[in-house]
C-alpha cells in the first residue's frame, strides 16, 4: 500500500461524506413537503441534490492529487494537508448547503414565486466549496 495516496483518499472520502449528509438533510425535507403539496415535486428533488457537487470536487481533486504525487510535484504529506483541510471545507459547505436547501424547499412550497430567489444563498455557500477547490488546484499545480 502506498501511504502517499492517503491525501487523495481523504479529500474524496470527506467530499462524499459531506455531500451525503447535505443531500440527506435536504432530501428529508423534500419528502416531507412532497407529502403535503400536489405539484412542483421536481423543484424539491432538484434542491435536495444540490449538495452533491462537493463529491465531484473531491473526485477531481483525488485524481489531480494522485497524478501530482506520482509525478513528484506534490509530496505525500502535502497531499494529506490538502486532503484534510479541503475535505473539511467540502463537508462544511455540503452540510450548510443542505440546511439552506431545506429552507428553500419550505419557502418555495409556501410561495412558489420565491424559488429562484432561494438559489442565491445556496450558490453563495457553493462558492466557498469552489474557492477551496480552486485554491487547492493552485497548490497542487503551483
Query: How many whole angstroms from its chain centre is CA 103?
Result: 18
Residues 6 or more apart in contact with residue 5 via CB below 8 angstroms: 66, 69, 76, 79
What would the pLDDT profile of 58-96 be if each residue is shown by its tens digit?
Answer: 999 999 999 999 999 999 999 999 999 999 999 999 999
pTM of full prediction above 0.85: yes
For residues 111 and 114, give the distance between their C-alpha atoms in angstroms, rounded to a whole number. 6
Each domain of the chain, given as residue ranges in start order, spans 3-141
Name which of 41, 54, 71, 49 is nearest 126 in CA terms.
54
Q: What is the pLDDT of residue 39?
A: 85
What would the pLDDT profile of 89-139 be if each residue is shown by its tens digit?
Answer: 999 999 999 999 999 999 999 999 999 999 999 999 999 999 999 999 999
- Residues 47, 101 contacting (CB under 8 angstroms): yes
The residue among 49 and 39 whose pLDDT is bigger is: 49
Q: Where are the alpha helices (DSSP H) in 35-52?
A: 41-49
Q: Which CATH class is domain 3-141?
A: mainly alpha
Cell numbers for 129, please give them. 466549496
The predicted model gives 45-55 an average pLDDT of 96
The residue with cell 463529491 is 55
Q: What is the pLDDT of residue 62?
A: 96
Q: What is the pLDDT of residue 1?
A: 56
Amino acid at each position: 500500500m502506498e501511504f502517499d495516496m492517503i491525501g487523495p483518499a481523504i479529500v474524496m472520502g470527506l467530499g462524499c461524506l459531506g455531500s451525503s449528509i447535505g443531500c440527506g438533510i435536504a432530501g428529508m425535507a423534500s419528502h416531507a413537503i412532497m407529502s403535503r403539496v400536489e405539484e412542483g415535486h421536481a423543484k424539491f428533488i432538484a434542491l435536495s441534490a444540490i449538495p452533491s457537487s462537493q463529491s465531484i470536487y473531491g473526485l477531481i481533486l483525488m485524481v489531480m492529487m494522485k497524478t501530482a504525487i506520482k509525478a513528484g510535484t506534490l509530496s505525500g504529506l502535502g497531499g494529506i494537508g490538502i486532503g484534510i483541510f479541503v475535505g473539511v471545507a467540502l463537508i462544511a459547505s455540503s452540510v450548510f448547503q443542505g440546511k439552506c436547501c431545506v429552507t428553500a424547499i419550505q419557502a418555495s412550497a409556501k410561495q412558489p414565486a420565491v424559488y429562484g430567489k432561494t438559489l442565491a444563498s445556496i450558490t453563495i455557500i457553493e462558492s466557498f466549496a469552489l474557492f477551496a477547490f480552486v485554491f487547492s488546484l493552485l497548490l497542487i499545480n503551483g
